Amino acid sequence: MCVEPRRAPVRRALLLLILALVSGCGTMRYGVPPRVERLDELQPGLSTTADVLLRLGEPRGRGAVRLTRAEPMRDVFLYEYVEADASGKARLKMLLVLIRADRYDGHLWFSDELLLRPAAAGGGGGP
């Protein structure tokens, strides 16, 4: 195989990625698992945005939500993690954090059971 010298590292990395994906031997991951076990350290209406960032880290994305017409607009922080295994099956763990007037104002998280640690807090109520 002839490869231009300056492109060789890139092509080598690409080759490895393709090999890993198509051979069914690799696991693809992106994002960082949301730290849902730290949600209990936040108090709705009291904890600040800085408290959220300190405990949960920098969000992967941001958004906004208006739950009902009577409710004010809230900011949304998005945390997510995806893992795809050799068979092509993917597992997802996602956390949305609501922020109102610089205060933590609620959350929604869900996760594939395999991505959960035994000590995951904040309820969940498994079957």
Partner 1 sequence: MSVRGTRGGGWVRAAAALWLAGALLAGCAPAPVLTTGEFPALARLDTVLQRGRSTRADVERLLGFPAGRGHVLIPIGGLEGRGWAGRDVWYYEDIEATGMDKARREGSVTVIPLRVRQQVLLVLFDGPRFDGYLWFSNAQRGVGHVR
Binding site for partner 1 (CB under 8 A): 1-3, 10-11, 13-15, 17-19, 21-25, 28, 30, 36, 39, 44-45, 67-68, 70-72, 74, 82, 84, 86-92, 98, 100, 105-116, 122-127
CB of 74 to partner 1, least distance (A): 8
Neighbour order of strands in the sheet with 28-31: 28-31, 74-84, 61-65
Q: Which is nearer to partner 1, 40 or 54 (CB)?
A: 40
Nearer to partner 1, 70 or 119 (CB): 70
Cβ atoms of 37 and 120 closer than 8 Å: yes
Tell me the CA distances in angstroms from 68 to 44, 53, 65, 104, 105, one per residue in order.
19, 26, 9, 18, 15
Which is closer to partner 1, CB of 56 or CB of 111? 111
- Three-class SS of residue 36? helix
Nearer to partner 1, 44 or 61 (CB): 44
Beta-bridge mates of residue 75: 64, 99
CB of 111 to partner 1, least distance (A): 5
